[in-house]
Amino acid sequence: MFQMTLEIYEEIEATLAQLTLEEKISLLAGKDFWRTVPVPDKQVPSIKVSDGPSGARGDTFTGGVRAAFFPSGISIGASFNRELAHEVGEHLAEEIKSKSASVLLAPTACCHRSPLGGRNFESYSEDPLLSGKMAASYINGVQSKGVAATMKHFVANEQETSRLYVDETIAETPLREIYLKPFEIAMREGRPLAIMTAYNIVNGDHCDLNPYSLTKVLRGEWDFGGLVMSDWFGTNSMVESLLAGLDLEMPGPAKLRPVKELLAKAEQDEKIREAVDNSARRILTFIARVGKWKDMTPEAPEVSRNDPETAALIRRAGGEGAVLLKNEDGTLPLKPASLKKVAFIGPNSKATVAGGGGSANLNPHYLTQPYESFVTAIKEQNSDVEVVHAQGCIIDRWVPIVDSEIENGRCRTPGPDSQPGMLLEWFKGYDATGDVLSSSVEISSNLFLIDRRPAELSPREPFSVKLSGQFTVLADGEYNISLSTITAAKLYLDGDLLIDNWDFKERGDLMMNVGSEEVVATVDLKAGTFYNFTIINSSIWPKDSPPDPPMQDIAALGIRFGFAPVSDNSKLIAAAAAAVQDCDAVIVVVGLNNEWESESYDRTDTKLPNHQDDLIAAIAAANSTVIIVNQSGSAVDMPWSANPNVKSILQAWYGGQEAGNVIADVLLGKQNPSGKLPLTFPVKLSDNPTYPHFPGKDLKSEYKEGLMVGYRYYDTEGVKPQFPFGYGLSYTSFALGVPTISTRSLTERSQFSVVVDVSNTGEVAGAEVVQVYVERTTATSRTIKRPVKELKGFNKVHLQPGETKTVTVTATDTDLAVWGEVNGKWVVEAGEYKVLVGTSSVKEGLQVAGTLTAERTWLWI
């Protein structure tokens, strides 16, 4: 970060003294969606922030300047590679700079409480230590390049259902040991310059004003002096949040902190004035720490930074996170010289599945898909392997948007000078007539228009947009045309009203939970004919629709327009099974996508949606060499995993813009997958400890499972998972020597190291992850049930064939501390601790490195 000097601190204090109380208050909310408020007369600049965990989107929520799309957080977590997370952070910082921003709104570090969490793909793990360590490395990478990282969402944002209002009841021990722990680790080892509060309520108080998590823990015990901002529209009070330590309401302009009202209160209350001073000081200091102190240079335009080095990192990172779950008979990697015909099957085989949905999404430089990447790689090897393809089934949750039609020239703007895309025009008034205020050509029919309102429109003025164009289809037949909008809308086809969404009543999951339910019309279309469409979207809020105060307040608009042929999955499955019967190997690419996993809603099941299990069963019945590639950001059921014809299973996660290339690389052995599962894959949803009470009801969610999250539950209760935490195979083999421990006596403020030799006993280069777990062997009188063992350290080692390296994993006495229920402090309890070493959490594969003994109990604040 920018080097802070005594002189700068003195200048900050001098500037603070020069600011009027009104000017100080003006700093406490954003200027707009992505910027802070400047005070030009006092040389206080505005700084810009940008989403998010998988890349720097810039200041346009949909569309916008192209950016690098990195693998999702879960994929980085699966790498178990802190150096890789640091490297990703460094490159993300450069991406942020290319968008003229100074602040990255990432990383997301909440633990996976349930496999259904809609935002699990953004986070690293179900384990707090792994999450905290990876987040710390990511933060260090980002901030080493002069960009501020914003760790989020503080705290316990483990569900998206009713996320703005759900009240989570969490006992103090699991709150400390599971949900606060990643933040505590990253606060100590990464020192993020900013924290973003969560939407939810914890034990009766919203996170932006929570006296326990925000005031007592973050500001008090952890002594965090950096910037605390709200999640977007996540400020819930004017004064309480300020007194609790929330510095910045986002986005702007101020909603809960209007300057005049807060000024009137501050003038009458010294406590409020003191809080205003404290927050204003932290904001000024934050500006200095990102190198913008008194920098009044106008903001430069955003640029696209299509950097080959970054692309190579994304591709390598995807391979390091890919987890090989099964590989019978050495089926993978495929050897083209021994193959004549290979089939690529499945709904994701020709899909560009890069990441989950919501604020982590962006407009990528490019996208890759498995089939094309595989065919290209085969050609590069001068192989004459025949590669056939069949869709197998359709898994779209909604009618697909028309983006691919634009790319293929089948959707164009209206008029004689048409070009690929659709024309978006802005108007005053509700009916999209009169003078056009501004216009643009859109390359996506999924438009979340929350940050693009023309400057000519006053805040409360009625306005509307028109989206228009022409499209054609490849074949005669029945087609579904769909529309979902945030506010009142109508869709016309060739001048006739086809979908009336003007007075809709029901809201669905689209557009961050504020879009209407999708309305679908089925029409007969002819190939070769261009059909004219027009969509009018008005700022009128449907009178019977459930309210959404933030979206109403900013008069947000949004359009999601789709069309696709009507399909029959049973026919697609039958065609796929027929196509693979004479193939030497079949790759079936299945999973989820950004419609099934997204910010603003949770999944309802862990089963693969829309007949994918039926497809796999049919393919396995028709061919004896089946390779499954699953793309998802969390656990899915795999009822076919034991099928003898399913030889290999690869968990590929979401690989960003290089997702297709990563899959091809791993299948052909260009990359040896070295990921380990950062979460447990249960056999079925009901095996998960949160099953009876996730996501709660009546806006209440009780964390009744306590500490029994993820592998802690499966290990302790003896519930056999489909695949355990920490598990992952390789194309080579490894052997661990006899582990040793540096000490047998645990004393206050001491550390211990586990040392073990790791050898690559196979024929190709690969990487192994040494994992250290600790089991408490001395019984205690605790009232809360504790897990039988917990991860306390890990280290990844890369080895050439025949190579041996000595790996050291170090932990401290604080890593063994538990939360003291009686005294309200961290406690290292007297007793014996068995230190276990292995390459997964499976008990049978763990060796005892030694036993630590703590002769007495001691406390940590």
Q: Is 767 in contact with 797 (CB distance < 8 Å)? A: yes
- Paired sense of beta strands 826-828 and 818-819, if any: antiparallel
* CA dist., res. 270 & res. 155, Å (int): 29
Amino acid at 652: A
Q: What are phi and psi of 826, to 5 degrees?
A: -70, 135
| Cβ pair 480, 521 in contact under 8 A | yes
Give the list of residues 6+ apart from residue 552 with CB closer than 8 angstroms, or none: 541
Q: What is the dihedral angle through the alpha carbons of 627, 630, 635, 637, rounded to the nearest 10 degrees?
A: -50
| Measured CA distances, 804 to 79, 675, 736, 761, 762 (Å) | 20, 20, 9, 9, 12
Question: CB of 74 within 8 A of CB of 123?
Answer: yes
**How many Å apart are CA 518 and CA 506, to the nearest integer?**
9
The number of residues in the chain equals 861
Contacts of 714-719 with C-beta under 8 Å, sequence gap 24+, read 714/680, 714/682, 714/687, 715/787, 715/788, 715/789, 715/841, 715/843, 716/785, 716/787, 716/788, 717/689, 719/682, 719/687
**Is 337 in contact with 378 (CB distance < 8 Å)?**
no
> Dihedral (C-alpha) 570, 575, 578, 582: value to the nearest 10 degrees?
-140
Strand, coil or helix: what is 475?
Answer: coil
Distance of CA 172 to the CA centre of its chain: 26
**φ and ψ at residue 179, rounded to 5 degrees:** -90, -35
Strand runs labelled E in 207-348:
227-229, 323-327, 341-345
Please give the span between the terminal C-alpha atoms of the chain, in angstroms, as a whole number.
Answer: 29
Q: Are 122 and 73 in contact (CB under 8 A)?
A: yes
Set 208, 231, 637, 715: catalytic member: 231
The CB-side HSE value for 135 (13 A sphere, CA atoms) comes to 33
User: Helix crossing, 128-143 with 82-98: angle to 10°?
Assistant: 40
**Is residue 231 among the annotated active site residues?**
yes
Strands 766-776 and 790-799 come out as antiparallel
Strand partners, 380: none
CA-angle at 391, arms to 390 and 393, nearest 5°: 135
Which amino acid appears at position 559 of this protein? I
State the angle between helix axes of 659-667 and 370-380 in degrees (0 to 180), rounded to the nearest 10. 50
Contacts of 747 (CB under 8 A, 6+ apart): 813, 854, 855
d(CA 360, CA 54): 6
Q: Residue 117, preceding bond cis, omega within 30 degrees?
A: no
DSSP three-state, residue 172: helix
Q: Do residues 179 and 129 lie in contact, with contact meaning Cβ atoms separated by under 8 Å?
A: no
Q: Which residues are catalytic?
A: 231
